[in-house]
Amino acid sequence: MLSKSLLDGYWRFRRENHAADKGRYEQLAKLGQAPTALVIACCDSRVDVSAIFDAGPGDLFIVRNVANLVPPFEPDGRFHGTSAAVEYGAEVLNVPNIIVLGHSHCGGIAAYREKLQGKPDGTNFIGTWLTQLDGLEVKDEDIRTFGQETAFELAGIRQSLANLRMFDTVRDREAEGILALHGLHFDIGSGLILAHDPETDAFAPLPETVEA
């Protein structure tokens, strides 16, 4: 049986949120989805992706895994969940945007840092999953500007952006101008988002308006 808080939460959703937006949900059920972005985010409970973009039903196609990682392109890898989602988002849903959304206090990235410091690495799946980060290139400049913890998280975002570009379908669409890649880092405490600038390879706070 579901716990009371989850069950009550569902009935509040059903009677208020879903009821108020019922027409939109029925329309989406009948016509299908055409989300504006694919977001690769962490499983972390403090990162509510829809809330962060104030997005409604149908707006965001969201993959969530530990540490918001995109594995390198490996067509023979088994059960590549994130790669399948990237393919689905790009080729089936034709999303115009892919966002890698990292965040502060990331337990996955922290586990990788601890491994570097000689702590025993996670056994089984977590450890294997995080081997993707082996050899992560952390920038000295980021360490100086943002501190070591954040610098590792930013490096993870850069690596996922690079891995996304190993997919032909991503690279081709980006070259054609119909797909844009974004690297963002969300600070849980302050709400600040740093955005990756592809020209300088640096991260800086999101501006308030779209620049010309």
Shortest distance (Å) from residue 47 CB to a copy of itself = 8
Cβ neighbors of 86 (< 8 A, separation 6 or more) are: 38, 40, 63, 70, 98, 164, 167, 170
Q: Residues 161-200: x/- map of binding to a copy of itself (CB under 8 A)?
A: ------------x---xxxx-x----xxxxx-x-x-----
Using alpha carbons only, give the angle 105, 106, 112 rounded to the nearest 5 degrees.
120
Helix (H) or strand (E) holding 116: helix 107-116
When asked if residue 204 is in the footprint of a copy of itself (CB under 8 A), the reply is no
- Residue 202 within binding range of a copy of itself, rule CB under 8 A: no
Q: What one-character DSSP code corresponds to residue 177?
A: T
Query: Is 196 annotated among the ligand-binding residues?
Result: no
Q: How far is the CB of 3 from a copy of itself (least distance, A)?
A: 6
* Closest to a copy of itself by CB, 140 or 199: 199
Q: Tell which positions 100-129 bind a copy of itself, by CB under 8 A.
A: 104-105, 107-108, 122, 124-126, 128-129
| Residue 83: other Cβ atoms inside 10 A | 21
**Judged by CB, which is closer to a copy of itself: 125, or 140?**
125
106 among annotated binding-site residues:
yes
148 binds a copy of itself (CB under 8 A): no
- How many other C-beta atoms are found inside a 10 Å radius of the C-beta of residue 45? 6
Nearest partner of 129 among 207, 67, 171, judged by Cα: 67
Amino acid at site 200: T
Burial of 174 per CB tally in 10 Å (0-12, 13-18, 19+): middle
Q: Are 39 and 65 in contact (CB under 8 A)?
A: no
Q: Least distance in Å: CB of 140 to a copy of itself?
A: 25
Whether 42 has a binding-site annotation, put simply, is yes
**CB of 37: closest distance to a copy of itself in angstroms?**
7
Q: Which of residues 19-78 bind a copy of itself (CB under 8 A)?
A: 19-38, 43-46, 48, 50-66, 69, 71, 74-75, 77-78
- Residue 30 or 140 having the CB closest to a copy of itself: 30
